């Protein structure tokens, strides 16, 4: 269920992270149903797998936050929204370049005009892209996990946050 050499240490660390997030009245979502159950997380972020979504909803209940990464698939986004997903995420493959960002931007713009289920721009790697996607209607921006490993991660995340705030003020 957990990775690492010291599972107890990992569990303690993850439990503290969940508590920290929830203490700030934020929802904490994790990547597996079992981990959400074990840690008392608020829900899960899943790949676009109907069986996994159904299992998550059954095991975690209607009050759980369940989001689905639909990649660049309109069909998956519509299907999961109709199934009750709390959000859909659009993402290009990591380092997909300008084509991936443009495809994601097109989807977010389309989604924001037609649907009420929130959408997330997933794997965003720059403040410029974050501002663009937020301006097009992304309800949330999820920075690329790669950014957290950069030596200047805190600055990069702060720049994304600032760019999103500015884009929202301008809208």
> How do residues 107-162 score in pLDDT, each as one tens digit?
999 999 999 999 999 999 999 999 999 999 999 999 998 898 999 999 999 999 99
Residue 36's closest CA among 55, 8, 9, 49?
A: 55
Whether 60 is covered by a domain: the verdict is no
pLDDT of residue 171: 77
Give the count of beta carbons closer than 10 Å to the beta carbon of residue 123: 26
Whether 127 is covered by a domain: the verdict is yes
The number of domains in the chain is 1
Two structure tokens written together for 135: 């301006």
Whether 99 is covered by a domain: the verdict is yes
Length of the chain: 171
Judged against a pLDDT cut of 60, whether residue 69 lies above it is answered with: yes
Give the separation between CA 13 and CA 7, rounded to whole angstroms: 10
Whether 144 is covered by a domain: the verdict is yes
Tens digit of pLDDT for each residue in 7-42? 666 888 899 999 999 999 999 999 999 999 999 999
pLDDT of residue 3: 40
pLDDT of residue 94: 63
pLDDT of residue 2: 38
Give the separation between CA 160 and CA 119, rounded to whole angstroms: 17
Residue 90, classed as helix, strand or coil, is: strand
Residue 148 vs residues 27, 37, 137, 143, 152: alpha-carbon distances, Å: 20, 26, 25, 9, 8
Whether 153 is covered by a domain: the verdict is yes
Burial of 115 (0-12, 13-18, 19+ CB in 10 A): middle
pLDDT of residue 8: 63
Whether 26 is covered by a domain: the verdict is no
Gap between the terminal Cα atoms of the chain: 43
Q: Please report which confidence band the pLDDT of residue 6 belongs to, taking 50, 70 and 90 as the band edges.
A: low
Judged against a pLDDT cut of 80, whether residue 98 lies above it is answered with: no
Whether 100 is covered by a domain: the verdict is yes
CATH number assigned to the domain comprising residue 132? 3.20.20.70
pLDDT of residue 96: 63
Burial of 169 (0-12, 13-18, 19+ CB in 10 A): exposed
Residue-range definition of the domain harbouring residue 96:
70-170
Give the count of beta carbons closer than 10 Å to the beta carbon of residue 27: 13
- Rounded to the nearest integer, the mean pLDDT of the chain is 91
Q: Please report which confidence band the pLDDT of residue 99 belongs to, taking 50, 70 and 90 as the band edges.
A: confident
Tell me the pTM: 0.88
**CB 160, CB 131: distance < 8 Å:** no
Whether 141 is covered by a domain: the verdict is yes
């Amino acid at each position: 269920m957990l990775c690492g050499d010291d599972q107890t240490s990992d569990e303690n660390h993850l439990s503290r992270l969940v508590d920290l997030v929830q203490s700030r009245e934020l929802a904490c979502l994790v990547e597996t149903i079992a981990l959400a159950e074990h840690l008392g997380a608020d829900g899960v972020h899943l790949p676009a797998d109907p069986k996994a979504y159904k299992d998550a909803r059954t095991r975690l209940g209607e009050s759980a936050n369940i989001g689905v990464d639909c990649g660049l698939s309109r069909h998956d986004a519509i299907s999961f929204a109709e199934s009750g997903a709390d959000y859909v995420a659009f993402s290009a493959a990591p380092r997909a370049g300008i084509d991936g960002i443009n495809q994601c931007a097109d989807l977010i713009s389309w989604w924001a005009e037609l649907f009420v289920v929130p959408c997330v721009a997933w794997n965003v790697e720059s403040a410029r892209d974050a501002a663009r996607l937020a301006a097009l209607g992304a309800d949330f921006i999820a920075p690329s996990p790669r950014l957290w490993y950069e030596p200047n991660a805190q600055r990069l995340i702060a720049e994304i946050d600032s760019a999103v705030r500015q884009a929202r003020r301008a809208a």
